[in-house]
Amino acid sequence: MPGIDFTVYKGSEGGKVVQATAAGQALGPNEVLIRITHAGLCGTDLHFRGQDMVLGHEGVGVVQQIGAQVKHFKVGERAGWGYLHESCMSCESCFTGNEILCSERHLYGTHEHDRGAFASHAVWNENFLFHIPDAISSSDAAPMMCGGATVFNALEKYGVRDTDRVGVIGVGGLGHFAIQIAAKMGCEVVVFSSTESKKEEAMRLGATEFYPTKGVQELKIGRPLDQLLVTTSQQPDWNMYLPVMAPNSTIFPLTVSEGDLKVPYFPLLANAIRIQGCLPPSRAIHMKLLRFAAFHKIKPVIQEFPLTREGIEEAMDRLDKGEIKYRAVLVADKA
C-alpha cells in the first residue's frame, strides 16, 4: 500500500508556524492513515511553538487507509487521538490500564515530531485511536481529545463521587469542561473566577455557586470543598483556598505553570489534604469520556479557524493573549 505526501504545520525557532511537506511511507500493519478535518488548539501547543515539530495533539478526522492487520477501524469512519501516541503494552502500567504512565510511552512533544494534528493527514497506531460517537460533532470532539479528557481523567480516575462538593478555579478552556462534567456527574460545582463577568455562563454550564475573587482576601463558601480543580494558567493564592478545603480533600493542578509549586506546608498536614498530579487519560478513561459526553450532551464552547498556516497563527496568537472563548478549533477546507 503506497504512502502519500501530506501537508504539515510546524513550529520554528522564532515561533512562526511553518508549512512543510511530509514524505509519505507505506502503512505498517497496525497503522491508520487519517485525513484530518478538525484539530483542537490546546495551551500545551503554545509551549512547543518554538520547536521544529509538527504541532497539534487534539486531532479528529476520517480514516482514509488502513494497514493489513487493522481490526477496529474501517475506511470512512471518524477517528480521533490525543496526547498519548503509543506505549510498550507489556509493563505493569500498561497491564493495569495506565498506559499514560508507561516508562516507554510516546507523548506529544517527546516523540513522533513528524506527525501532529495541524496537518492534512496523520498516521497512527490503531490501538491509540478513538471512535467518535455519532452524537458528537467533529468540531466538538477535537477539544475533548486532550482538554476534556484531562478534566474527566481527574474526576473519574481519582474517585470523585456525586456527593462531593467540587471547586473549579477558572472558567476557560479546561474550566468550562470541568463545570459541565462535574455537574453531569451529580456533584455540587463551586466556581471561582477573577471577576463577576462569567457568572451567568458558569451557572448555565452547571455551576451551583459562583464566587468572584478579585480583591478578596478570605473566601466564605459555607461547606468546604472535597475536590478542587485548578484550571488557570497561573497558580492561585493558596492561602485563600486551603482554608476552604475539607479534611482528606484533594487538589488537582491541571494546567502547566512555570516555576515550582509552592504551597503552605502546615495546612496540608493539619487536614490531610492531597495534591494529585494528573495527566491526560489512558485509553479506557478516554473512551469513557466520549461515551459520557455523548450521553450527557456535553459540548465545548468553541471558536473556529481555518486549518491553514494563517489560521493557526491567528488562533495561537489569540490564545496567547487570552482572547479565545473557550477552545479554538481548526477546520480543514472541505471538512
174-221 pLDDT per residue, tens = 999 999 999 999 999 999 999 899 999 999 999 999 999 999 999 999
Assess whether pLDDT exceeds 90 at residue 23: no
Residue type, 151: V
Measured distance CA(210)–CA(193) in Å, rounded? 8
Measured distance CA(281)–CA(213) in Å, rounded? 30
Which tens digits make up the pLDDT trace of 237-272?
Answer: 999 999 999 999 999 999 877 788 899 999 999 999
pLDDT of residue 233: 84
In the predicted model, what is the mean pLDDT of residues 37-53?
Answer: 96
pLDDT of residue 4: 82
Block residue for cell numbers 478538525: 38
- Strand-pair category, 209-212 with 225-230: unpaired
Q: DSSP letter string over 242-261?
A: GGGEEEEEEEEE-S--SS--
Asked whether the CA dihedral 128, 131, 133, 137 is positive or negative, the reply is positive
Measured distance CA(36)–CA(128) in Å, rounded? 16
Q: What is the DSSP letter of 140?
A: H
Assess whether pLDDT exceeds 60 at residue 59: yes
Which tens digits make up the pLDDT trace of 150-178?
Answer: 999 999 999 999 999 999 999 999 999 99
Measured distance CA(176)–CA(166) in Å, rounded? 13
Task: Give ranges for CATH 3.40.50.720 in the chain.
Answer: 149-275
pLDDT of residue 204: 98
| Closest C-alpha among 77, 84, 23 to residue 58 | 84
pLDDT of residue 203: 98
Measured distance CA(140)–CA(238) in Å, rounded? 33
Residue type, 85: H
Assess whether pLDDT exceeds 80 at residue 2: no
| Closest C-alpha among 57, 274, 301 to residue 179 | 301
| CATH code that applies to domain 4-145+281-331 | 3.90.180.10
The answer to whether the predicted template modeling score (pTM) of the entire model surpasses 0.85 is: yes
> What b/e readout covers 38-75, taking b as 16+ CB neighbours within 10 angstroms?
bbbbbbbbbebbeeebbbbbbbbbbbebbbeebeebee
Q: Which CATH architecture has domain 149-275?
A: 3-Layer(aba) Sandwich (3.40)
- What is the rounded end-to-end Cα distance, in angstroms, of the chain? 25
Q: Which three cell numbers stand for residue 119?
A: 496537518
State the virtual CA torsion across 30, 6, 324, 327 in degrees, nearest 10.
-20
Task: Give ranges for CATH 3.90.180.10 in the chain.
Answer: 4-145+281-331
Measured distance CA(84)–CA(296) in Å, rounded? 25
Which tens digits make up the pLDDT trace of 90-116?
Answer: 999 999 999 999 999 999 999 999 999
